[in-house]
Amino acid sequence: MSNGANNAAARPSWLLRLYTNAPVLFCFCAMAILMTALWCLGFRLNNDADDLLKLHEIRTLLETGNIFDRTLPGIVQPEPYVSHWPWIVDLPYAAFARLVTPFAGFEPALMLASFAVPLLLLAPALYFYNRLVIATGFAYPAVAFPLALIFAARTFFEFAPGRIDYHNLQILLLLAALVLMMSRNRFSAFVNGLLTALSIAVSAEFAPFYALVIAVYAFDWIFDREGGESRIVGFGIALAAGAIGLFAAIVPPSAYTAVRCDTYSTPHVTALVAAGLSFAVVPSLAGRRGGWAMRTAILLVFAAASAAALAKLFPQCLASPYASLDAYVRDNMINRILQEMSLFRRPDVVLSTGFPSMALLFIGALAPAVICAGRHGRSRPLVILALFSLLALVLAVGYVRYYRYLPIFAGIGLVFVLASLLSPDARLGRYLKSPVPAASRRYTLILPGLVLSVAMALYNLSVKPSEAAVPAGELADNCYSSPFEPEQGWPAGAIVLSPPLVGSRFVALADGPKVVTIANHPSAKGIERSYRFLDPATADPRAILDATKATHVAICAWRGPPLPALEAAYPFAAGLIEGRPPAWLRECPTAASSPLRIYSYRNADGTDAVCPASTLAIQARP
């Protein structure tokens, strides 16, 4: 009797057995519930203006049905705004909204797609992340996976409701590529070639990661690893075929010869096809006679020839995507965006609330490399994880835009660190048992990350990053994070000149006014005009309103006591922010709680522009 009771007590419950068999399902439900609850409470895990533009872009695609014309209405600089995002990025949301529209209506279906599709993309992303955890060799992946997910939550918040930028799709494709590289299935390399072409077609932002994917397949062939030849050929054929197929699907025939460095066009497909064909033919050229040195030399010759040809054909793409922008825009806006800086230039690295989490990420990112540095404990999955983790760390330090992706790799590394600190006899220590050698236990895995964090802190304390003066356009845009809805009920033909982030709020409205600019680099001409409008060096701001045909001005409001420092540095901008417009602008009535001030200018025929109709009361002047 007692033995039976003991056996029953030792037997895991059905819920625990279900979790052990399907940890991805449980973790998906937990994350989906958490992110949905935060969304319902008004918390936005990613307050990115690109999501607002993406909403406008998807709405336009659904309304016009034209997949090739990426000109977005509603943004009049007055030059047309042409999106640099391909239509395939909009496809999941547009398809979902199209299916739901007959039942819910157009706008509700669009809102539902913005809410649901990121969560639907989260499910396969978690599946591939779990496969990655399993491949690294933990004894109980069902325990290691949720821990890694907790450490990597910052990255997976890219799948929160409303996060409809392309970053979540890029993360999903990269996780799939990592798992396919670790697979021994003979078709995995072919599928990975297609995914690589798709990822670059979505955005070249992940090109460094996929360069490493290419390097791994090249390494397998150079050193004659099992199946290396078939993998490099399959990957190369799929890469070339996928690049050509996506080019035909994305680029209209009239633009086949056009060169656009910031979106998928002739330079990108040429580079991918050159790399794919090189991989497809090098095994037959080398045969079985050459060793690793000859194989390396053949690949290097192909790579050098391809790079030289690309540089000769497309020299304009050798610089950054922002190189062609006016220096005024780069200096006053682009170069001031925190994610466009390196960690060496950011003034908020040390003595900030984010520094401890940064140090933790550094520790986790370097832990796999420390393990692989020893003689024991190496495995193909662990070496691949270490390489990508190091690359992500270098990219994150050099260009903060990549910082959001570092937790993917640091999360698994931190589980290794946690396992090394726990006693093997402890319950959690047994569950986190891994192939980490004894030499890597205790503080060995922590030390490199700590050293890097201390070095970063010392650098930023000794070489304090210079901080340029804040332009008036940025000060007038500082209410973007406030929870507000822009005024609606705009008169027909209204065109609003506003700072870029405020403009992004307006452009996302279903029935909003046209805007001169938004916070995205294809709107550089509009950004320049909105910043120069508020710049004290501009002699006549009305000339900018006339040039853009703007009928209204919208600007973040200050409703407290006067700001003497702002008034001294930027008298014109301060007057608009504080509600003291010049005689040629008339303040429109707005709700007392509105963080915006709206001014009417004049119509093209010289008549006074009409204020938005839905405003509630004349704003009381402070």
Tens digits of residue pLDDT in 410-421: 999 999 988 888
Q: Where are the alpha helices (DSSP H) in 333-477?
A: 355-373, 380-398, 406-421, 427-431, 447-462, 472-475
Where on the phi/psi map is residue 224: left (φ > 0), alpha (ψ -120 to 50), or beta? left
Contact 34, 119 (CB under 8 A): no
- What is the C-alpha to C-alpha distance for residues 276 and 2, in angstroms, rounded to an integer? 67
pLDDT over threshold 60, residue 440: no
The per-residue b/e assignment along 393-410, b for 16 or more CB within 10 angstroms, e otherwise, is bebbbebbbbbbbbbbbb
Contact 94, 65 (CB under 8 A): no
At 615, the pLDDT band (50, 70, 90 cuts) reads very low
Of 308 and 17, which is predicted with more confidence?
A: 308
Residue with tokens 């989906």: 32
Of 181 and 224, which is predicted with more confidence?
A: 181
Contact 516, 550 (CB under 8 A): yes
- What is the C-alpha to C-alpha distance for residues 72 and 62, in angstroms, rounded to an integer? 12
Bridge-based pairing of strands 495-497 and 71-76 is unpaired
Structure token digits, residue 466: 């210079």
Contact 476, 555 (CB under 8 A): yes
Burial (CB < 10 A; 0-12, 13-18, 19+), residue 512, is buried
Predicted model pTM: 0.93
Round the CA-based radius of gyration of the chain to a whole number and report it: 27
pLDDT at 423: 65
Per-residue pLDDT of 488-519, as tens digits, reads 788 888 999 999 999 999 998 888 899 999 99
pLDDT over threshold 80, residue 435: no
Amino acid at 370: V
Rounded mean pLDDT, 202-211: 94
What sign results for the dihedral spanned by CA atoms 105, 110, 115, 119?
A: positive
pLDDT over threshold 50, residue 232: yes
Rounded mean pLDDT, 507-534: 92
Per-residue pLDDT of 423-433, as tens digits, reads 666 666 667 77
Per-residue pLDDT of 450-474, as tens digits, reads 999 999 888 888 887 777 788 989 9
Amino acid at 197: A
Per-residue pLDDT of 469-494, as tens digits, reads 889 899 999 888 776 677 778 888 89
Per-residue pLDDT of 234-269, as tens digits, reads 999 999 999 999 999 999 998 899 888 889 999 999
Sequence spans of domains, the chain: 472-617
Axis-axis angle for helices 87-104, 228-250 (nearest 10): 60
